[in-house]
Amino acid sequence: MKVIVCGAGQVGFNIARQLAAENNDVVIVDQSEALVRKVTDRLDVGGVSGFASRPDVLREAGARDADMIIAVTYSDEVNMVACQVSHTVFKIPRKIARIRAQSYLEPRWSDMFQRDHMPIDVIISPEVEVAHSVLRRLRAPGAFESTPFLDGRVRMIGTRLAPDCALLHTPLRQLTELFPDLVAKVVAFERNGKLYTPSGDDQLLEEDNVFIIAREDQVERTLGLFGHDEEVARRIIIAGGGNVGLNVALELEKQERRIKVKLIERERSRAEYVAESLDRTIVLNGDVLDASLLAEANVADAEMIIALTDDDKANLLAGVLAKEEGAGAAMALINDQNLMRLVAPLGLDAFINPRATTVSSILRHVRRGRIRNLHSVRDGAAEVIEAQVLATSPLAGTPLSAVALPPGVMVGAILSNGEIRVPDGRHILRDGDNVVIFALKSAVPEVEKLFRVTVDYFG
């Protein structure tokens, strides 16, 4: 597949990196010649310097025979025009654009993006995606990852094993014997910074990060078995009233009224705007690093502080200060990969990586075959993939123990005839079943092939 990626920032670089690693023909476009050179020096991709919205630049990038364009420059307008030019001039079949400004996304303007107007097949809004990610974490306290699959009927959760976890040093194959009615499966663990897919003989150790796929109604029980019995936060402080913070507050207001939210915003005009946009949230104007303001917000009584400002260091420090003042837990928005490693040493409970969230959203629409959902894990080190089994797939009609799955792949859950199941080697997948698979990066291309529609399918 030939893909043009417009924008050589962090998101564009990571999209290009993952697509190039899967032997796609990738060309990256950016107005900064230095950024283009940086990407082409590090990746096996082509590069063109110039404005991505200009026909001559897109032609130089190979738009005449491209299969897809992914526009993730810093300018919404450039992204939109790049998709328009790609459609009108070059007939590129698939067009994905990142759009940040919420005014473009209001329902009353939705006709603007129809095929006859400004044809964009998929619109990614980072602020909305990040807000949803925050809300998913809030619903699963004790988890640093929480992503729904199978229309919300199962969830992939990531959690860190505490010293008092009762399952430490227990072979994973014994979990089924100990908890026969538990619809959950460990699909991976991270130890010393490296991801592994486990065998039944593997044992989990203190401070391992464990990735589990569990039926939605058993997520709380599953987290409890792995040493986490934290309550869902009801008293929440949000630091930062930007688009992400505002979206989180708006969504929390739609939930049950027992949730009490206070939001701190430094800029007075923005604080006034946020206050007018919210009904039940208390909005305070000031610096979240001001101890007296935190005291005014009654941070000692807060069960969670969510730091969502546009300053990574301020977010980290806000979480540390709030926990020192008595807040129960802290979550921080972190863009800089170098700062992410400080989250655990500083005592923060979770972080949100906007880049990874956006990359996951885009890859969900890039994957071929019957891929229905996708989540990128640990900066692309692995993916959790939801897909539909076709009659032509090598998976169909054969016991899983007899299927030659590539190394680094675990089938975590199956939806068959309306029932969620945790599979074992005896399970036989049927045409139309939906599966959730954990795959290390090296195995993703092979997994994609398992769900690809072949010519024979239409015979």
Kindly state the percentage of the chain with pLDDT values over 90. 57
Rounded-to-integer distance, Cα 62 and Cα 22, Å:
19
Rounded-to-integer distance, Cα 27 and Cα 40, Å:
9
Domain boundaries, the chain: 2-124, 130-159+171-222, 235-348, 361-458
Per-residue pLDDT at 368: 61
Q: Is 69 exposed, middle or buried (0-12, 13-18, 19+ CB in 10 A)?
A: buried
Average confidence (pLDDT) over 85-106: 89
**Domain range 235-348, CATH class:** alpha beta
- Looking at every residue in the chain, the average pLDDT score rounds to 89
Helix, strand, coil % in the chain, rounded to nearest 5 = 35, 25, 40
Per-residue pLDDT at 311: 94
Kindly state the percentage of the chain with pLDDT values over 70. 96
| Whether pTM exceeds 0.85 | no
Q: How far is CA 181 from the centre of its chain?
A: 29
CATH number for 130-159+171-222 (one of 3.30.70.1450, 2.60.120.10, 3.20.20.140, 3.40.50.300): it is 3.30.70.1450
Digit-coded pLDDT (tens) for 298-352: 999 999 999 999 999 999 999 999 999 999 999 999 988 889 888 888 989 889 9
Per-residue pLDDT at 115: 67
Angle of CA points 31, 33, 37, to nearest 5°:
130
User: Domain spanning 361-458 has what CATH number?
Assistant: 3.30.70.1450
Digit-coded pLDDT (tens) for 411-446: 999 999 999 998 888 889 898 899 999 999 889 888
pLDDT band at 456 (very low <50, low <70, confident <90, very high): very low
pLDDT band at 367 (very low <50, low <70, confident <90, very high): low
* H helix runs in 204-290, sequence order: 219-225, 243-254, 268-277
Q: Which residue has the higher pLDDT, 86 or 14?
A: 86
Please indicate whether the domains covering 130-159+171-222 and 361-458 agree at the CATH topology level: yes
Place of tokens 């920032």: 9
The candidate with the shortest Cα–Cα distance to 372, out of 150, 129, 175, 204, is 150
Task: Tell me: pLDDT of 453 over 70.
Answer: no
Average confidence (pLDDT) over 143-164: 91
- The CB density around residue 176, as the number of other CB atoms within 10 Å, is 14
**Domain range 2-124, CATH class:** alpha beta
Place of tokens 């959203």: 361
The candidate with the shortest Cα–Cα distance to 11, out of 448, 366, 370, 385, is 366
The amino acid sitting at 442 is S
Rounded-to-integer distance, Cα 146 and Cα 133, Å:
8
Q: Which residue has the higher pLDDT, 190 or 369?
A: 190
- The CB density around residue 18, as the number of other CB atoms within 10 Å, is 21
Task: Establish how many alpha carbons lie within 13 A of residue 120's alpha carbon, considering only the half-sphere containing its beta carbon.
Answer: 26
pLDDT band at 369 (very low <50, low <70, confident <90, very high): low
- Are residues 307 and 319 in contact, defined by beta-carbon separation less than 8 angstroms? yes
Digit-coded pLDDT (tens) for 247-287: 999 999 988 668 999 999 999 999 999 999 999 999 999 99
The amino acid sitting at 449 is K
